[in-house]
Chain A
């Protein structure tokens, strides 16, 4: 590595979003010619820090300097003009256009009003040759693999003579060999004098590619130091040093030994390759956590049980009755699912709270002239009160509620079905601490009333704080089972990452992974 000089330095930066202190007195230097890893749990402030450097957000307090002179950015375009570029997790390519067109987009070489195809081609060829990035430059961007698309994004950044490139979870959607290739590209970038900021939940990846690592927690910097002095364990310890505290209400009593088994899954194989040979049981009154990394197949198992994705073989029984594999059948046999994304999979945003609550249960309000709205109103109101939905009116559109309250509407929908089995997929994603507590209480109440609960969660403290038992999935299989007393973050993490947890270059066999998912 060439000896680095500081390109961007952030001093005493603070940023607040509403009630959340996203960044709190953060100081850090990003050096040219080095890869700077940024790790931390969800909400630790990694993304906010990057966005401030790129000009997406403006600081509340503190300062940024670019090569020693003060920098005040008010838009990402200004940042880009100075060579500060971000490569987003979600790619922003135009799929119908060629790689060349994508790379030069906005900076096309022109001859009068006409785009000079030849000059652009030469420029892109020069770029790919210089950086050793092999891409078919005449292919349509949409026809490329995700890894190649990622390269196109990087080429685009390079084509703008970038001096600092922020990569946010760049390997999240890549297969492992593609990821290894991308890491080479990242090293290459740094060797050419670019300052690279590398944000990832994959600690091994960060350890292998970064020169310097900054660990963040709760909007603050825990420490910044050379990557070679860190280990997987030391990073985890730094990231998760938080007390579990009062977020979690006391767990309901564990079910008796002879409590009936509500959910029995036997040898379930997915129709795709998402999971295989999954067997598990959940008893009445028991909360079982399904932990693991993103992409380990947890949501897919949840949906397979619910009948909303196809399975190749295996059986699912609820209270001794075999499910046929359709959502309707699952609902009829007392299964409720609270999906991962309330916006995409859960709610009809512009419809009233009442309709969103009762949608799967309309049959029970049937009268001779359609739905008896009076009864519906009473039942929906009661269910919403039960889980503490705060809405001005049951007729207000659900989009008018806060994220936490929207999530509670989905709980109300589930409660209204009086399910035997409740499957909750990341139920506290994107909700504030107060609503989290209410959601945990709702889960507990369901369990106390004899409902079996299967909780899919990426938050390890959530699994430890709420579950009687945790199953850990890795690469589509259940690899570990931890009882309430023996659950630790380290233990669950170790199971989720699996053996061979070295600091070797590349990322071995691990799937797209996260300690916690990005929110």
Chain B
């Protein structure tokens, strides 16, 4: 019995822990078990889930993409400029995603063709993209000029915001792409053993480049959804978004070394962190202490992961 339970617990550990946290909060916290609260959590997590589900794919392919923060900040600036100029929210959405895709393609080319370490490459492109954000926004806040732009993420279907619906759709696409397609298998192969993948006929560079390109597009979409929720976008050079993304991916148990992981893990990781913060807020814990505890929890999650990896299967 134990022999079957233990490997399963190890495999689905993050899901188990997230459910346990859910039960704990439900039992101890007033106001947690309410539809409004859940809708709120879903809506708040939508942008992160969109970016993190594709960041998972990049990380499994052995890449480390920190340009998501810059794309997240700058893609909506482009989108809003387009919206302000044309009044067309659909065109704005396309522009935002296209900016992300362009940055992702550039990252992919630098990493695969020039063989620059992906952390360094995406750090460098991040600065360039952040800078471009200040240029195109003329260093000021951009606001939506139509009602259609906010509607992208704020419309409610069956009580749930379209932002959350978009996130659900993107997660589903990433999940299927990774777990059910040839491309997904190639992603695992490239991250797990690039030389073996090459000898099995996998186009290693192409797979990596596509992973970076998709992650860029997803980060662009995340930025548009986020700005649609808040009705505006502000140029900055704030890296914090990508740290949230990486935290979700890593707490979920996807390996930084590549070759291992899953989209469902990232979802579980994202909700674990979101529930924790929700619990803190409902208990009115000092936000400064929240950070300390959040850091400790991430450290614990990653340590447990490293520890289980060390043990034989």
Q: Do A and B bind each other?
A: yes
Check B182 against A363 for contact (C-beta < 8 Å). Answer: yes
Give min CB distance, A399 to chain B, whole Å: 7
Check A397 against B313 for contact (C-beta < 8 Å). Answer: yes
Interface: A147 (CB within 8 A)? no
Q: Which residues does chain B contribute within 8 Å of A400, judged by CB atoms?
A: 313
Interface: B189 (CB within 8 A)? yes
Number of chain A interface residues as a range: 20 to 34
Interface: A344 (CB within 8 A)? yes
Q: How far is the CA of A369 from the CA of B198 in the complex (A)?
A: 25
CB-CB nearest in chain A for B191: A348
Q: Main SS of the interface on chain A? A: helix
Interface string of A469-485 (1 = CB under 8 A from B): 00000000000000000
Interface: A505 (CB within 8 A)? no
Interface: B141 (CB within 8 A)? no
Check B192 against A348 for contact (C-beta < 8 Å). Answer: yes
Check A331 against B188 for contact (C-beta < 8 Å). Answer: no
Within 8 A of B (CB), among A324-355: 327-328, 330-331, 337, 339, 344-351, 355
Interface: A233 (CB within 8 A)? no
Q: Which residues does chain B contribute within 8 Å of A327, judged by CB atoms?
A: 198-201
Interface string of B188-222 (1 = CB under 8 A from A): 11001101111111110000000000000000000
Q: Main SS of the interface on chain B? A: helix
Interface: B181 (CB within 8 A)? yes
Check B176 against A360 for contact (C-beta < 8 Å). Answer: no
Interface: B184 (CB within 8 A)? yes
Within 8 A of A (CB), among B263-313: 313
CB-CB nearest in chain A for B176: A370
Interface: B259 (CB within 8 A)? yes
Q: Which residues does chain A contribute within 8 Å of B193, judged by CB atoms?
A: 344-349
Check B196 against A347 for contact (C-beta < 8 Å). Answer: yes
Check B200 against A359 for contact (C-beta < 8 Å). Answer: yes
Q: How far is the CA of A266 from the CA of B201 in the complex (A)?
A: 24
Return the contact of A359 from the options B179, B185, B203 (Cβ within 8 A): B185
Check A362 against B182 for contact (C-beta < 8 Å). Answer: yes
Interface: A110 (CB within 8 A)? no
Return the contact of B197 from the options A349, A358, A359 (Cβ within 8 A): A359
Check A339 against B199 for contact (C-beta < 8 Å). Answer: yes
Check A331 against B201 for contact (C-beta < 8 Å). Answer: yes
Interface: A4 (CB within 8 A)? no
Interface: A308 (CB within 8 A)? yes
Q: Which residues does chain B contribute within 8 Å of A362, judged by CB atoms?
A: 182, 185
Given contacts A327-B201, A363-B182, A369-B176, contact A348 B188 (CB under 8 A): yes
Q: How far is the CA of A358 from the CA of B193 in the complex (A)?
A: 15
Check B196 against A345 for contact (C-beta < 8 Å). Answer: yes
Q: How far is the CA of A460 from the CA of B5 in the complex (A)?
A: 48
Interface: B83 (CB within 8 A)? no
CB-CB nearest in chain B for A331: B201
Given contacts A308-B198, A359-B197, contact A348 B189 (CB under 8 A): yes
Residues of A whose CB lies within 8 Å of any CB of B are 306, 308, 327-328, 330-331, 337, 339, 344-351, 355, 358-360, 362-363, 366, 369-371, 373, 396-397, 399-400, 413
Top 9 nearest A-B pairs (CB, nearest first) are: A370-B180, A348-B192, A370-B181, A360-B200, A362-B182, A331-B201, A359-B200, A327-B201, A360-B201
A-B contact pairs, 13 of them (CB 8 A): A327-B198, A346-B199, A348-B259, A349-B192, A350-B260, A351-B188, A355-B185, A359-B202, A360-B202, A363-B182, A366-B182, A370-B179, A371-B185
